[in-house]
């Protein structure tokens, strides 16, 4: 990956059009090489009409996915993830803008077996066995891998003769997983793929996905498990309120979010004092120990010192992707609404 392509996307949005700028000004847009892209979103918008007024589910989203990448697609609930994935897969149409798969429409790509998709639970038949279900998928795709291979990779070879509708949620997820990989498609799209799986199967799942990525396949997954995105994705795309918020490797996002945990011992300090500190994301107290999450640990600490306090045992720690995610979405909500973001709102 070219270093210039990544990094936190500027949060500036041109208020009138809702257009989000991609990358920093010195980064020419065409470094994303639209021609070689597996998935392209170009200024895509989708609005739903509810009784309370229009909801801009996706608002000027632009992104491009390159072949061979494993990409995590993250966003708080209601950020527009599902709407984006639906448009990507051709299940719904954008109001404006352009969505392309392999340079053409989603329908064409799907018709040629270019996409293996795993939606959230439910997309299974009743009254059929696991083997029959996966065999059907093999027949539907032009270049399937052997059924037994798909079953083994999804760790369900022992369930082959069981009825699909009699399986547990986690087992059904694995059946869907077998269906997503059996077509040997160059693009694999997974919506919350590991929900309901136990730890062991989750490991097996990601091991298989890594193999697919090594084969040059593009794997795009939406997940609630941020540690999975942290561990398995080369690239993380964060959207919020229908716009692209951050795009880069997990490490880059963590770094650019600047989210740090600042902890110290400070007996008798008032809560109100802590809450007045700048750049705060969250506050946690345990007796004399205070743990702050902050988007600028230096500024927060200096403000505390300037206020005349002398904390002891100061520790500053970089945070995981989850905290970075919370920090940047909270900051974005803050910017746009002019109101104080809460952790709840960010999640």
Q: Is there binding between residue 124 and another protein (CB under 8 A)?
A: yes
For the CB of residue 235, give the shortest distance to another protein in the complex, in Å: 23
Nearer to another protein, 44 or 117 (CB): 117
Taken in order 325, 327, 328, 334, the sign of the CA dihedral is: positive
Among positions 219-238, residues that touch another protein (CB under 8 A) are none
Residue 126 binds another protein, judged by CB under 8 A: yes
Q: Which is nearer to another protein, 2 or 140 (CB)?
A: 140
Assigned token pair, 90: 């051709």
Residue 50 interacts with another protein (CB under 8 A)? Answer: no
Count CB-CB contacts under 10 A for residue 79.
22
Q: Which is nearer to another protein, 129 or 334 (CB)?
A: 129
DSSP secondary structure string, 89-146? Answer: TTSS--SEEEEEETTB-HHHHHHTT-EEEE-STT---SS-BHHHHHHHHHHHSSSPPP
Q: Which position among 29, 111, 276, 285 is part of the footprint of another protein (CB under 8 A)?
A: 111
Is the alpha carbon torsion for 230, 231, 234, 237 positive or negative?
A: negative
CB of 155 to another protein, least distance (A): 21
The CA-based diameter of the chain, rounded to the nearest angstrom, is 72
Cα separation, 58 vs 241, whole angstroms: 7
DSSP bridge pairs for 98: 42
Q: Cβ contacts of residue 339 below 8 Å, gap of 6+?
A: 333
Can you give the C-alpha Rg of the chain in angstroms? Answer: 22
Which window, 1-9, 134-142, 208-216, 234-242, contacts another protein (CB under 8 A)?
Answer: 134-142
The single residue among 27, 136, 167, 314 that binds another protein, judged by CB under 8 A, is 136
Asked if 132 touches another protein (CB under 8 A), the answer is yes
Nearer to another protein, 102 or 264 (CB): 102
In this structure, the dihedral spanned by the alpha carbons of residues 33, 35, 38 and 40, taken in order and rounded to 10 degrees, is 80
Which of residues 51, 53, 122, 268 is near another protein by CB under 8 A? Answer: 122
Q: Which of 9, 72, 100, 110 binds another protein (CB under 8 A)?
A: 110
Q: Residues 148-187: x/- map of binding to another protein (CB under 8 A)?
A: -------------------------------x---x----
- Binding of another protein at residue 91 (CB under 8 A)? yes
The 3-state DSSP class for residue 7 equals strand
Q: Which residues bind another protein (CB under 8 A)?
A: 89-91, 110-113, 115, 117, 119-128, 132, 136-137, 139-142, 179, 183
């Amino acid at each position: 990956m070219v270093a210039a392509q990544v990094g936190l996307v500027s949060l500036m949005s041109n208020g009138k059009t809702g257009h989000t700028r991609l990358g920093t000004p010195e980064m020419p847009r065409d470094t994303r090489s639209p021609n070689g892209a597996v998935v392209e979103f170009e200024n895509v918008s989708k609005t739903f009409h509810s009784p309370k007024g229009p909801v801009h589910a996706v608002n000027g989203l632009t992104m491009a996915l390159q072949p061979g990448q494993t990409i995590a697609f993250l966003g708080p609930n209601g950020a527009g993830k599902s709407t984006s994935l639906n448009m990507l897969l051709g299940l719904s149409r954008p109001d404006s803008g352009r969505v392309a798969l392999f340079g053409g429409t989603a329908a064409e790509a799907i018709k040629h077996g270019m996409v293996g998709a795993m939606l959230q639970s439910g997309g299974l038949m009743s009254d059929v066995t696991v083997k029959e279900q996966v065999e059907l998928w093999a027949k539907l795709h032009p270049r399937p891998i052997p059924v037994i291979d798909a079953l083994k990779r999804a760790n369900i070879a022992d369930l082959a003769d069981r009825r699909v509708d009699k399986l547990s949620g986690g087992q059904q997820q694995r059946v869907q997983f077998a269906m997503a990989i059996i077509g040997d498609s160059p693009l694999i799209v997974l919506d919350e793929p590991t929900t309901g799986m136990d730890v062991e199967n989750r490991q097996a799942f990601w091991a298989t996905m890594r193999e697919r990525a090594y084969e040059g396949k593009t794997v795009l997954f939406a997940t609630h498990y941020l540690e999975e995105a942290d561990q398995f994705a080369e690239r993380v795309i964060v959207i919020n309120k229908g716009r692209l918020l951050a795009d880069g490797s997990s490490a880059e996002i963590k770094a650019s979010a600047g989210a740090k945990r600042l902890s110290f011992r400070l007996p008798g300090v008032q809560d109100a004092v802590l809450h007045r500190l700048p750049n705060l994301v969250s506050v946690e107290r345990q007796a004399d120990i205070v743990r702050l999450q902050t988007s600028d640990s230096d500024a927060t600490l200096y403000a505390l010192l300037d206020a005349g306090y002398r904390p002891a045992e100061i520790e500053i720690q970089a945070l995981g992707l989850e905290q970075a995610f919370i920090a940047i979405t909270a900051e974005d909500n803050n910017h746009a609404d002019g109101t104080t973001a809460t952790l709840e709102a960010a999640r």
